A and B are shown apart, each in its own frame.
Chain A
Amino acid sequence: MLSLLAFPATGQRVSAEMNCTFTGTDFVYDCVIRLTPATPGVQISVGADMPSMPMAHNIRPVKAKPGKRPGEYHATLDLDMTGEWAVKLRLSGALRDLLVLHYEFTESGTAPRK
């Protein structure tokens, strides 16, 4: 699992990590995102781009839904293909930030970038 540290505009340090499982439908993944520290009132928009083909894939961003645990969110990503994707988390509401996470999306789920 890969995590990323970033500096939000508020000055609070946020880290995010994500874990996805393949749904069985081509290139559709159920993802769990965890923000640390857990901050209530944060909305997350999840987008994705392929580093090797920048700008060529326009994945429709989805709003992540808050999960049961604090700081946990769920989102379903509908990608174009397997391979490495840069997942963009746009945080708004109580925290404003933009995080970029890199994962290898396979036919079983996600793995950290090699």
Chain B
Amino acid sequence: MDEYALGVLTNIGLFSFVALSAYLLLLAGELSFGQQAFFGVGAYGAGIATAMLGLSLPLAILIAMLLGALAAALVGLPTLRLRGLYFAMATLAAAEMFRILFELLHWQVLVEGEPVGPDGTQGFRGIRWIFERGVEAEGFLAMVWTLLAAVLLLFFLVERSKLGATIRALGEDPALVGALGIDVDRFKLGIAAAAGALAALGGALFAHHNTYIEPRNFDIMLGVHSLAYALIGGLGTALGPLLGVVFDLGFLEASRVLQEYRMIVFGGLVALLLAWRPRGMLDERVVHWLKARFS
């Protein structure tokens, strides 16, 4: 496989984590424009853990996920009281606050005589755990897709369980779920924390893939993309966000002949698609039809 194909497949895998994070919140009925913040928390957290504290990548990923969950819970505490557009705007504002915090973060240590660590807008260089251990692009791709497969398996198990049914019911009718004796606010907070941990996992991998991160990596564009992927792919199955990422990156790569107009064409296609299928390509109806057909 050539370097280009490896890069595209790795990016599809990395994007999928943050798209799945947005998907999880969409299932619970919440539209978040702020999942890029937790992707960033994961990237910075894991980068600090390996490059500055000398920890191993698996431990750094665990720390990053915990930090992502904690950050998402902190954001969720005040914002999950809001509904609809107000929640969406609040998550966007919170994500911008995180990005500005990354810009203000200056903490460097000397590694082999050179400063390593976050340096505000100049970014954070030297996140070289993967590189220094000789992990080549194929190995990293395998790592990303193995973790993604594990996350998808977890989603499938959850969606077949009572927990999954409760999450979907919450997205449909929170008052009904509350009437069944479930603490809706606490339940949503747990979902937000899990979504934050998932985005942070993607961020940790992204930082080690790039070896360099900066606050601008985690701005609104990433949040809009991740939400769009979940909506384009569909809310009927966890494969939906993955399909959304493949559709987007695949279309953009296949339409290079359109040059700078391809983004405009793609935007129009997305608008038409969502007008035709508001819950995405793999929506609940299609998934039920597929299950009935092949089971």
Residues of A within 8 A of B (CB): 4-7, 9, 26-27, 45, 47, 49, 51-56, 58, 60-61, 80-81, 86, 90, 98, 100
Kindly list chain B residues whose C-beta atoms are within 8 Å of the C-beta of A6: 125-126
Contact B11 A61 (CB under 8 A): no
Let me know if B221 is at the binding interface, CB within 8 A: yes
Chain A: minimal CB distance from B212 (Å): 4
Please, how many angstroms separate the alpha-carbon atoms of A71 and B8 in the complex?
30
Contact A100 B210 (CB under 8 A): yes
Contact A58 B212 (CB under 8 A): no
Quick one: which of B206, B216, B259, B260 contacts A55, CB cutoff 8 A?
A: B206
A47-B3, A60-B4 given as contacts; is B114 within 8 A of A7 (CB)?
yes
Residues of B within 8 A of A (CB): 3-4, 7-8, 11, 14-15, 112, 114, 125-126, 128, 131-132, 134, 206, 210-212, 214, 216-217, 219, 221-222, 225, 249, 252-253, 259-260
Contact A86 B212 (CB under 8 A): yes
User: Which of A6, A27, A54, A60: most chain B Cβ within 10 A?
Assistant: A54
Quick one: which of A45, A58, A60, A100 contacts B249, CB cutoff 8 A?
A: A58
Chain B: minimal CB distance from A80 (Å): 7
Contact A51 B259 (CB under 8 A): no
Contact B253 A45 (CB under 8 A): no
Please, how many angstroms separate the alpha-carbon atoms of A45 and B3 in the complex?
9
